[in-house]
Structure 1
Amino acid sequence: MTETACRAAFAHEPQAQRGRQRLLARLEASGISNQQVLEVVAEIPRHWFIDEALGTRAYEDSALPIGHGQTISQPYIVARMTELLLESGPCSTVLEIGTGSGFQAAVLAMLVRRVYTIERLAALWGLAEPRLRALKLRNVRYRHGDGRLGWPEMAPFDGIIMTAASEGIPRGLAEQLTLGGCMVLPLVVGAGQRLVRLTRTRSGFRHEDLEPAMFVPLLGGLG
């Protein structure tokens, strides 16, 4: 049996089904209220996006290593960032900075018309695309590149999600938002991080400080 077939079979095992239901309950208890987001996060087989050796932990509400010093984000933070993005208004096109394993891109792809995702590490970029294609998510465009630069030729975007912590607001990215569009990202603040939402307005940008966060740092260049 191929790896894809093994992973597909695991998705129907009672262990996986129970894990998804427990995860859904935890997300609701943590305050996630957007029902579409809850359903999508529970539906997507998270075990497809991690190493098979960690399969039994796939439906824990925790970040997990995916190699190369990177992690797959905690399901709560994926759901929370997606919820924050969608509640700001109509969202048709979204740019993701940091494809990672592809899980956040999969969630977005089931909720918006088009997802553009950039990953600086070739090894991760090469793994994420076939996973998303195996799930028949064909509304995702991929780029191996420096996420700090965004994707200007495809701008403007209704939303931008950054899955790594920035030392400050990346102005070049913020300016790729459409009027009324928002960017959800973790910012380094002192010794910690804060999740913030930046909305583009006619007079500039509105900044909302939301809650604590914990992400890997945003790096430039290619790997």
Structure 2
Amino acid sequence: MGPPVARPRLLKRAELPVDTAELARFLIGKMLVRTLAEGGAGGRIVETEAYSIGDPAGHAYRGMTPRNRALFLERGHAYVYLAYGVSFMLNVSSEIPGVGAGVLIRAIEPTSGVTIMERNRGVEVVRDLARGPGRLCEALGIDRRLDGVDLCQAGPLWLGSDGQAADEIGRSKRIGITRAADSPLRFYIRGSRFVSGPQALNR
């Protein structure tokens, strides 16, 4: 057994870049922490996608609705939605209040609460616990109840930093979209086995 992993410190909103693409890159290597009744769980963010202002692939493109209002909050809030009626997805709001944009958290490297995540996912392959946005939300018990949560305050879900710099960051087009599909707005840690997507995009 190695030394215990230090609890990450809470990220302050002032640390978060206002620009959506910059925020997506900034979040690589940061920590996503979930507090549950049975304990804490989470890990290092290894893959994100930016959905910037006016992005036709973004949920804010047609304006604010009751469903997407969290995207228009001050940067650093959770926007959680159900994709295709099957999987929840976690986004971090970006830009200034009233402007809709966000960053999709696509994958984490589990660092704490692995047993909790295994139970939630029903699998015991650590690599597959949170490799992909739907798996991530299932592993951490993230659903619409967390929509609008302030990720810069201690609570059920928050963003942190353990002071470690991210490894080399790669950039590619986004995954699974048809509009603005070639925009290079996906960021990931090169060489991480916890990153999702086809190998051709992870070089």
Q: Same fold (TM over 0.5)?
A: no
Please tell me the TM-score bracket, short chain as reference: under 0.3
TM-score (norm 2): 0.28
Bigger radius of gyration, 1 or 2? 1
Question: Structure with the greater relative contact order (CA < 8 A, sep ≥ 6): 1 or 2?
Answer: 2
Q: Which has the higher helix share?
A: 1
TM-score (norm 1): 0.26
